[in-house]
């Protein structure tokens, strides 16, 4: 994925068009004029939460041709990465995929959501491998990275989790169909407070995907209890028939990852999704709202819950 600003990082591969709009011609600025570092890091709390981890890479120029060797070279090594909750500071250790044994490779690949056998690059991440940091909802966590004489900082807040009330599958609209289903979710949003959510889905143990609308804020449903349809993110790539879009296949096993997030994390993913959905020769340039000082990217805190269901009704 790539951020739709001026820089294309190694891991955030969301298409960046940066072309012209009807109002003003826009020319991408070379990456040597912008941030030197791309950060993608997360903290999670809740049952099944992943340990804290962070990816640190160099941006690619807008016009770059990118191959496996370029991805390998983009990872930044030997940085000093620390996370603090105000009382305790934990140092994240660098782990590179090619340095691991086969069993550990499989575990790391499952954790990060990719196929260990098909990985063409030496994937490197900074991780809390000793589980020293135990993220908690209701707390803020600051990040500091010292690398090549530069300092990168950020902070994120992990909100109290607001879970889904329930989920159930229903027959799809239109003519009777016993092979597809729609997913109805029920949420009671707490009143008089700003809440932000991120939703990801996995099918049959595959990677989690966010689809076209992976984040929501309660601006229009603060304090309300309501039902909404959760579209199948696996159908968002346009590789399905129109009448199958957003629906789930009966018999599949799906897992929904529901996360409460802070405003900065919402703003980041909201602008990323807007940029990805508004491409083409007449697209308006969108600047991603990063929360990284001294670089670009995201340091995000998630309060999560998982629900696994077999598609049936």
CA end-to-end span of the chain = 35
Residues 104 and 21: beta-carbon distance below 8 Å: no
* Helix (H), strand (E), coil (C) string for the chain: CCCCCCEECCCCCCCCCCCCCCCCCCCCCCHHHCCCCEEEEEEEECCCCCCCEEEEECCEECCCCCCHHHHHHHECCCCEEEEECCCCEEEEEEEEHHHCCHHHHHHHHHHHCCCCCCCCCCCEEEECCCCCCCCCCCEEEEEEEEECCEEEEEEEEECCCCCCCEEEEECCCCCCCCCEEEEEEEEECCCCCCCEEEEEEEECCCCCECCCCCEEECCCCCCCEEEEECCCHHHCCCCCCHHHCCCEECCCEEEEEEEEECHHHHHHHHHHHHHHHCCCCCCCCCCCCCCCECCEEEEEEEEEEEEEEECCC
Chain centroid offset of residue 294 CA: 21
- How high is the pLDDT of residue 256? 97
Tens digit of pLDDT at every position of the chain (313 positions) = 333 333 334 444 333 323 233 334 445 555 456 789 999 999 999 999 988 999 999 987 765 666 667 777 889 999 999 999 999 999 999 999 888 888 777 777 766 666 666 666 788 999 998 889 999 999 999 999 999 999 999 999 999 999 999 999 999 988 888 999 999 999 999 999 999 999 999 999 888 999 878 999 999 999 999 999 999 998 887 678 888 899 999 999 999 999 999 999 999 999 998 887 776 555 666 788 999 999 999 999 999 999 999 999 9
Residues written for the chain: 313
The whole-model pTM stands at 0.84
Closest CA to 54 of 134, 139, 123: 123
Closest CA to 34 of 20, 16, 21: 16
What would the pLDDT profile of 62-81 be if each residue is shown by its tens digit?
Answer: 656 666 677 778 899 999 99
What would the pLDDT profile of 169-208 be if each residue is shown by its tens digit?
Answer: 999 988 888 999 999 999 999 999 999 999 999 999 888 9
**Edge-to-edge strand ranges of the sheet holding 253-261:** 150-158, 139-147, 80-84, 89-96, 124-127, 53-57, 38-45, 296-310, 253-261, 196-203, 215-217
186-207 per-residue burial string, b: 16 or more CB within 10 A, e: under 16: ebebeeeeebbbbbbbbbeeee
- How high is the pLDDT of residue 248? 96
Tell me the domain boundaries of the chain: 7-310
Distance (Å, rounded) from C-alpha 20 to C-alpha 202? Answer: 36
């Amino acid at each position: 994925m790539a951020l739709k600003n001026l820089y294309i990082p190694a891991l955030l591969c969301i298409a960046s068009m940066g072309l012209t709009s009807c109002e003003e011609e826009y020319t991408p600025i070379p990456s040597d004029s912008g941030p030197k570092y791309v950060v993608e890091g997360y903290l999670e709390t809740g049952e099944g939460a992943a340990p804290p981890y962070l990816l640190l890479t160099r941006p690619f120029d807008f016009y770059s041709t990118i191959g496996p060797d370029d991805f390998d070279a983009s990872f930044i090594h030997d940085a000093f990465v620390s996370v603090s909750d105000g009382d305790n500071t934990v140092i994240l250790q660098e782990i590179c995929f090619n340095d691991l044994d086969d069993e550990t490779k499989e575990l790391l690949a499952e954790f990060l959501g990719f196929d260990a056998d098909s990985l063409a690059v030496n994937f490197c991440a900074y991780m809390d491998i000793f589980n020293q940091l135990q993220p908690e909802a209701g707390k803020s966590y600051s990040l500091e990275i010292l690398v090549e004489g530069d300092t990168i900082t950020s902070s994120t807040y992990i909100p109290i989790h607001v879970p889904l009330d329930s989920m159930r599958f229903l027959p799809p609209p239109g003519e009777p169909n016993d092979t597809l289903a729609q997913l109805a979710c029920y949420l009671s949003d707490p009143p008089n407070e700003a809440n932000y959510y991120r939703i990801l889905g996995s099918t049959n143990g595959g990677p989690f995907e966010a689809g076209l609308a992976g984040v929501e804020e309660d601006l229009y449903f603060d304090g309300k209890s309501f039902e909404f349809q959760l579209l199948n993110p696996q159908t968002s790539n346009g590789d399905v028939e129109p009448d199958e879009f957003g629906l789930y296949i009966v018999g599949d096993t799906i897992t929904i990852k529901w996360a409460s997030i802070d405003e900065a994390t919402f703003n980041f993913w909201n602008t990323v999704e807007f940029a990805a959905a508004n491409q083409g020769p007449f697209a308006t340039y969108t600047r991603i709202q990063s929360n990284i000082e001294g670089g670009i990217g995201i340091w995000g805190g998630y309060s999560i819950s998982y629900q696994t269901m077999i598609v049936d009704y």
